Amino acid sequence: MALDAVRDQEQKRQRKPHLPPIPDLRFEHSYLRSISSSVHVERLHHPRIADSQATDDETLLQKGGLGTVGRNTPAEVITVQWGRLFWITTRDQVIAPMLQGAVWYVPSAFSELG
């Protein structure tokens, strides 16, 4: 009797269809992917500063140098296309939710009338 129950459970597990993984529908992930085309980060590495040019950080700063002697100083240039970023944010935060609300409201309003 117990053996039949175990067989039935195994058959149910074997017949159960395998579903694909649930997609990631969080807003932040899709928004960051959308704005990635309008925000560009360029990483720059300045060449080494020779020790003979300056002996300490103060001298470098007075000469308009880049910082610590003998190190590569990383820098970033961030370019933002503000018009495009504004449009993407308005579309995702204002227009899309308003249209979704309208799509849900219209059928529900007509279903209450009839």
At 71, list the tokens: 């190190």
Q: Nearest-5° angle of CA 51, CA 48, CA 39?
A: 150
Closest CA to 34 of 113, 90, 105, 112: 90
| 41 domain residue, yes or no | yes
Nearest-angstrom CA–CA distance, 38 and 30: 14
User: 77 pairs with which residues across the strands?
Assistant: 42
Does position 102 have pLDDT exceeding 90, yes or no? yes
Do 43 and 73 meet the contact criterion of CB atoms below 8 Å apart? no
pLDDT digits (tens, 9 = 90+) for 19-56: 888 877 777 888 889 999 999 999 887 655 544 444 55
Nearest-angstrom CA–CA distance, 26 and 95: 18
| 114 domain residue, yes or no | no
At 89, list the tokens: 């944010």
| 85 domain residue, yes or no | yes
With cut-offs at 50, 70 and 90, classify the pLDDT of residue 69: very low
For the chain, what is the domain count?
1
> According to the model, what pLDDT value does residue 4 have?
73
| 88 domain residue, yes or no | yes
| 70 domain residue, yes or no | yes
| 97 domain residue, yes or no | yes
Mean pLDDT of the chain: 76
| 6 domain residue, yes or no | no
What domain range is 32 assigned to? 26-106
With cut-offs at 50, 70 and 90, classify the pLDDT of residue 99: very high
Nearest-angstrom CA–CA distance, 15 and 6: 14
| 65 domain residue, yes or no | yes
